[in-house]
């Protein structure tokens, strides 16, 4: 969140983690995330279920949904997330439930290290492309960063060690 109006966001790791948890609950994929002055705009694909009749199979159609999360919404998501997470969560891979919460968290950690003024990123099949607005001595400029699906999954697997926690399961060679 921001300490005061107009200041840089303070904790992208937790903010993006909270948004990712919401998206996991919705079953969304292929996200687009844009930071706005008062929150985030998030767009993604979700499968809508439909029934064609009493005896036929359920069919689903993929639709694009767009959400605007204000800072107050994100604060509520963060509180709910802290209450829900009391034990260590095992690392997950792309397509598994809980992936976006963990993927957005590790992306947020990277963003926090960069200290941008705002962010824009999108996801495609587990890979992320970020555009960060960075302040420089001569003004502002955009910086692009990309994380492949394998890199994101590697960062998710390393996250407990980076936080000083014991890993959920031993890694090869341990």
What DSSP element (H or E) covers 14? Answer: helix 12-26
Asked if 98 and 40 count as a contact pair (C-beta separation under 8 A), the reply is no
Q: Which of 27, 11, 3, 5 is nearest to 119 (CA)?
A: 11
Torsion of CA 28, 152, 162, 142, to 10 degrees: -90
pLDDT in tens, 111-147: 999 999 999 999 998 899 999 999 888 999 999 999 9
Q: Where are the domains of the chain?
A: 12-162
Q: Answer yes or no: are the C-beta atoms of 88 and 165 closer than 8 Å.
A: yes
| 7 Cβ neighbours under 8 A, 6+ residues apart | none
What percent of the chain is modeled with pLDDT above 70?
72
Asked if the model's pLDDT at residue 15 lies above 60, the reply is yes
pLDDT value of residue 100: 93
Q: What is the pLDDT of residues 69-92, one digit of tens each?
A: 998 998 888 888 777 666 556 556
């Amino acid at each position: 969140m921001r300490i005061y109006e107009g200041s840089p966001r303070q904790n992208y790791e937790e903010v993006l983690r909270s948004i990712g948890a919401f998206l996991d609950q919705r079953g969304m994929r292929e996200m687009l995330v844009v930071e706005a002055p008062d929150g985030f705009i998030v767009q993604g694909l979700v499968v809508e279920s439909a029934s064609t009749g009493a005896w036929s199979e359920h069919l689903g159609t993929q639709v694009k949904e767009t959400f605007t999360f204000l800072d107050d919404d994100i604060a509520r998501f963060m509180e709910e997330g802290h209450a829900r997470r009391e034990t260590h969560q095992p690392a997950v891979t792309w397509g598994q439930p809980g992936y976006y919460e963990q993927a957005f968290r590790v992306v947020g950690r990277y963003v926090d290290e960069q200290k941008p003024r705002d962010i824009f990123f999108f996801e495609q099949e587990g890979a992320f492309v970020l555009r960060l607005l960075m302040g420089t001595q001569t003004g502002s400029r955009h910086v692009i960063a990309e994380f492949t699906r394998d890199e994101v999954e590697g960062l998710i697997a390393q996250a407990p060690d980076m936080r000083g926690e014991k890993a959920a399961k031993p890694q090869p060679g341990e």
